[in-house]
Amino acid sequence: MNRTFLLFLLAILVAALLGLAVAEHAGYVLIAWKGFRYESSLWVFLALGAALWALLYGMRLLLGLMGASGRLVNPWSGRNRSRRVQLAAQRGLLELAAGRWAHALRLLRRAAEHSPQPLVAYLAAARAASELGEHATADQLLEQARLREPKAAVAVALAQAQLLMARGEDERAVATLQPVRDKHPRHPLALRLLQQLHLRLGNWAALGELLPDLRRQQLLKDGELDALELQARSALLARAAQSDERPLAALQQAWQQLPQAARQTPALVACYAEQLLRLGAGSEAEEVLRGALKSQFDARLAHLYGLAEGREPARQLASAEAWLKAHPEHPGLLLCLGRLALRNQLWGKARDYFEHSLRLERSAETYGELARLLTRLGEVERSNRLLQEGFGLLARELPALPQPGR
């Protein structure tokens, strides 16, 4: 308050002094040039000069405001147009996140058409169009993005593949991603999308080719990769075994084409052996299983070994009895030994193995084998009791349903 008052007094003092100066010394200014002549007092000349300077300054300020982005001053200026484009992009992305596809498409398309960097707006607009079911519009927007941003071809291809996957056009999605895979073989998102597509389409050979890169890039956990590899390799073997011409040869060829490490995996050995047994190649299955069990004991392989009919039943039984030394209380191996004893017509030994297996684990399969053997040996009453016990195990897996009374 005091400062304002002092400034006011100073302004009055300056005005008073200026008035005294004007009254005391009016001065004289004369400007003459050819036919032009101007005469006035000094103070009037100075006042006109100040007015002219103020006019020029005002015009300059007005021209600056005309080029500014203020909406009230010039809503059509370049800066304000850029601001409107940015605002449309922001609102469009918000509408997209909220699921209002039509509004998002309108705003994002407008932003993409006028933005100097339209990639994000084009990709988002394409997604909105795809959600609306306007697939032709989505493809057109992606093509425009590809034309305006040639360096972003990979990003556009990935976005297009995802939209194609969302609407179930998996084959087109694979074709879209393949050039990306060729130029950028380790691109993480391309690898993940191709893995999902090959899995959905059942392209097991192509999926098998992706597995090393997926493992190197650590795009999946080790357990998921192992399960995926097992699924792909097993499906390849099963498909080969279903070949119309020479299925056994096709299966053997598919097995030999697997990596050495894969052929030593117990789960894949079991899958191969099951297909061999299904095709009647029991002797080859026995050799494969015997070699795998020598390297690493596995319960599933032992179970299959009891089902395989080798060329030399005695040698097969001897091999299994050697494994029993390391696994004397393994019920599955004892069941396997009982079956091999039957192949060698050693009825008493088979009975002992089955009974020993049942003491360790109550299995419906073992009950059935022992009951069938006892029936042939004339012990029908005990065989019937065993069948009832085995059926009791199976009945536990049946759903609870109403039954008639006694």
Confidence bin at 251 (pLDDT 50/70/90): very high
Only one residue has tokens 């069948």, namely 387
Backbone angles phi, psi at 58, to 5 degrees: -65, -40
Q: What is the pLDDT of residue 65?
A: 61
Q: How far is CA 14 from CA 9, 23, 53, 162, in A?
A: 9, 14, 21, 77
Which of the listed ranges 17-26, 272-281, 378-387 does the model predict with the highest average pLDDT?
272-281
167 CB-near residues (< 8 Å, 6+ apart): 130, 135
Residue whose entry in the numeric block shows the structure tokens 């059509």: 76
Please identify which residue in the block is written with the tokens 């209380």.
329
- At 28-70, the pLDDT tens digits run 666 777 777 777 776 676 777 778 888 888 888 777 665 554 4
- Mean pLDDT score of the chain: 86
CB 88 within 8 A of CB 111: yes
Residue 189 burial by CB count (10 A; 0-12/13-18/19+): exposed, middle or buried? middle
Mean pLDDT of 384-401: 80
Residue with more model confidence, 42 or 344: 344
Collapse the DSSP code of 218 into the 3-class scheme (helix H, G, I; strand E, B; otherwise coil) and give the result.
coil
Please compute the mean of the pLDDT values over residues 214-226 and round it to a whole number: 88
pLDDT band for position 355 (50/70/90)? very high
One-letter amino acid for residue 7 of the chain: L
33 C-beta neighbours (distance < 10 Å), count: 7
Q: What is the mean pLDDT of residues 146-157?
A: 91
pTM of the model: 0.69
Which position has the higher pLDDT, 272 or 79? 272
pLDDT of residue 79: 55
- Average the pLDDT over 2-26 and give the result: 71
| Pair of tokens at residue 133 | 């079911």
How confident is the model over 59-111, as pLDDT tens digits?
887 776 655 544 444 454 455 677 888 888 889 899 989 999 999 999 988 88
- What is the pLDDT averaged over residues 227-253? 90
Picking from 275, 335, 328, the residue whose alpha carbon sits closest to that of residue 303 is: 335
Average pLDDT of the segment spanning 365-374: 90
- Other beta carbons less than 10 A from residue 135's beta carbon: 15
> What confidence score (pLDDT) does residue 70 get?
46
